[in-house]
Amino acid sequence: MDEVDRSILAVLEKHGRISNSDLAARVGLSPSPCLRRVRHLEESGAIRGYRALVDPAAVGRALRVFAGVRLKQHTRPVVVAFERGVVGLPEVTACHHITGNFDYLLQVEVADLPAYEDFHANQLATLPGVATVTSYVSMKTLSADTP
């Protein structure tokens, strides 16, 4: 991977729907070599896919909560059972296995606080191996994707 490939990736990360001709102009290539490079980046797995950024509030997920989860045990069967269960919860938009005070850090998106209370009590806390859940309600999200 060279600097041109890195430039292509940087542009596509911010503008995934950019046309090939506009992308080529931004990275200093003609369209044909640019398209070959993009295809190679896709085939090699450097580009894993393309997606739309959806406003969570527009689809009934206005409340974002970060939940730190500790497991009762760290045996392989407990970890596997927890991970299988958590990836099946549509409210969990990201799950990170981490070091520190928690074993997992989850990003959860739900409609409101009562919906989170229900999710916490009836789904998250009942997953295999869960010992404790510590919740942090997000008041604002700042990112390059925020207008």
List the 130-137 sheet strands across, edge first: 92-97, 104-110, 63-71, 130-137
Mean pLDDT (whole number) for 33-40: 97
Closest C-alpha among 62, 38, 87, 68 to residue 136: 68
Is residue 142 very low, low, confident or very high in pLDDT (cuts 50, 70, 90)? Answer: confident
> Looking at 17-21, 58-62, 112-116, 142-146, which range is the least confident one?
142-146
Burial class (CB in 10 A: 0-12, 13-18, 19+), 73: exposed
Region class of 38: left (phi > 0), else alpha (psi between -120 and 50), else beta: alpha
Domains (range + CATH), the chain: 3-44 (1.10.10.10), 56-137 (3.30.70.920)
Q: What is 56-124 written as a DSSP string?
A: GGGGT--EEEEEEEEES---HHHHHHHHHHHTT-TTEEEEEE-SSS-SEEEEEEESSHHHHHHHIIIII
pLDDT at residue 146 is higher than 90: no
- Specify the amino acid at residue 102: F
What's the pLDDT tens digit per position in 59-114?
999 999 999 999 999 999 999 999 999 999 999 999 999 999 999 999 999 999 99
Query: What is the rounded (10 degree) CA torsion for 56, 57, 61, 64?
Result: 80
- Given this model, what pLDDT does residue 145 score? 67
The answer to whether the predicted template modeling score (pTM) of the entire model surpasses 0.75 is: yes
Q: What is the mean pLDDT of the chain?
A: 95
Residue 141 has which token pair?
């999200």
Distant-in-sequence, close-in-space partners of 128: CB < 8 Å, separation ≥ 6: 78, 81, 82, 85
- Given this model, what pLDDT does residue 144 score? 66
Is residue 143 very low, low, confident or very high in pLDDT (cuts 50, 70, 90)? Answer: confident
- Compute CA 59 distance to the chain's CA centroid, rounded to the nearest angstrom: 17
- Given this model, what pLDDT does residue 39 score? 97
Mean pLDDT (whole number) for 31-42: 97
Give the Cα separation of 86 and 128 in Å (integer).
Answer: 9
Is residue 53 very low, low, confident or very high in pLDDT (cuts 50, 70, 90)? Answer: confident
